[in-house]
Homo-oligomer: A and B are copies of this chain.
Amino acid sequence: MSPGHTAVTLQALPPEPPGPCGEDHCGIREVLDRIGDKWSVLVVVELAKGPRRFRQLQRAIPGISQRMLTLTTRRLGRDGMLERTVFPTNPPQVEYRLSPMGASLAGLVADIADWSRDHQEAIEASRRAWDEEPAADD
């Protein structure tokens, strides 16, 4: 992608794809893309407990791969949710900690967690009822 590259004859691929952003859900998409993925929430929750190093994070989050942890921390860093500090030791150590905005996000995640807990049983009950009687549209 050369930056100085201006609209050739590429039959102008739709510049504005499907922008369902007309009223009150504009920034939601971006935030949900961040916290909605598989691992970001877990990283945020873990970092809310205090600064962690790369390996520490990986051990604290069972099942995450190095690749996914790298991508997740990078994206969170790009969005300003966490700060990365490199200690030029040997072996190298990198510390991750939530930025103020990241801490704020952690609070939001905590709210979601509370809501989840409060409704978890109701949701599971609803699913069971739905799965058992397919003809019952509630």
Contact = CB atoms under 8 A, between A and B. Distances in A.
Interface of A: 17-20, 24-32, 35-37, 41-42, 45, 61-64, 77-80, 83-86, 101, 104-105, 108-109, 111-113, 115-117, 119-120, 122-123, 125-127, 130-131, 137-138
Contacts of A29: 41
A42 B104 CA distance: 24
Nearest to A82: B138
Contacts of A25: 41-42, 45, 113
Nearest to A130: B78
Q: How many copies does the complex hold?
A: 2
Contact of A79 (B64, B83, B86, B126): B126
Contacts of A79: 123, 126-127
B115 A31 contact: yes
A83 B138 CA distance: 7
